[in-house]
Amino acid sequence: MNDSAIGIFDSGLGGLTAVKELVRVLPHENIIYFGDTARVPYGSRSKSTIIRYARQDADFLLSRGVKMIIAACGTVSSVATGLKDELPVPFTGVVVPTAEAAVRSTKNGRIGVIGTSATVNSGSYRQEILLRDSKIRVFQQDCPLFVSLVENGFISEKDDIVKLVVQRYLEKLKADGIDTLILGCTHFPIIARAISDYLGDGVTLINSGKETALYAAQLLKDRHLLTPCQSDGECRYFVSDTVEEFRRTAEIFLGRDVSTDVSHITL
């Protein structure tokens, strides 16, 4: 048993969807979240830059004494695949848990994947899906503007801008007849209702934040690292850019005020 915090990092705010799910699944755990808001987005960066940023993010969390690290970022999980072997604590990204859930979900063997350009170009989700079932057909689409929409508060399924961008990106996947769609960036669940409205009830959305939280909870249990404390855990948030902007937008992701729990750090 271990009452140290779980560390979570992302390029910005998207990883807060994983925080929300982790609090739901493991309410007694302490959580430290780092959002690298000064360098967001990661999805358009080179592979070497993404790996360097990921190492710096993980090093910060290790300096806070965390017992586990979660890369709640589809880009890092897809590109910085060697990070797991470099860390002295258990680690997971979002790709493996999400791919496993999608394979369990599909009925017609046609899975869609959406993410940042770096995530889609890496082919990470396709690889993990085909490792589990080589007969599945995987259809991919990068959706870089989704991150900008969410970061700037354009999240309503009734917003004409949101609907237009969703249609532009997803019309091909809809025509491909997918029955399962991986939301391969932790920003994307925030606009899941708009995505679902466009694709229809016949398509199951796989929330990478949710699946990663469930996977992390099982990993902690298997390694006997769950906290013995039965009181509610605490969440602390650190960002590399303005605290005020993070506080405002974090309420959209978490549904609660975090104004007293956010600090600025410089990597």
CA distance 19 to 87: 21
Q: What is the pLDDT of residues 71-121, one digit of tens each?
A: 999 889 999 999 999 999 999 999 999 999 999 999 999 999 999 888 999
Handedness of CA 21, 41, 172, 80 (dihedral sign): negative
The model carries a pTM of 0.88
- Intrachain domains 6-93+210-264 and 95-208 with the same fold: yes
Q: What is the pLDDT of residues 187-197, one digit of tens each?
A: 899 899 999 99
DSSP one-letter string for 96-111: HHHHHHHHHH-SSSEE
Q: How much is the pLDDT for 249? A: 81
Per DSSP, the three-state class of 211 is helix
Low-confidence spans in the chain with pLDDT less than 70: 1
Q: How much is the pLDDT for 260? A: 86
Q: What is the mean pLDDT of the chain?
A: 93
CATH top class, domain 95-208: alpha beta
Q: Calculate the dihedral angle through the C-alpha atoms of 232, 9, 169, 204, rounding to the nearest 10 degrees.
A: -40
Q: How much is the pLDDT for 186? A: 83
Domain regions of the chain by residue span: 6-93+210-264, 95-208
CA distance 168 to 173: 10
Q: Which fold has domain 6-93+210-264?
A: Rossmann fold (3.40.50)
Q: How much is the pLDDT for 1? A: 62
Per DSSP, the three-state class of 35 is strand
Residue 199 gets the label, from left (phi > 0), alpha (psi -120 to 50) or beta, of: alpha
Provide the residue count of the chain.
267
> Percent of the chain scored above 90 by pLDDT?
77
Q: Which residues are catalytic?
A: 73, 185
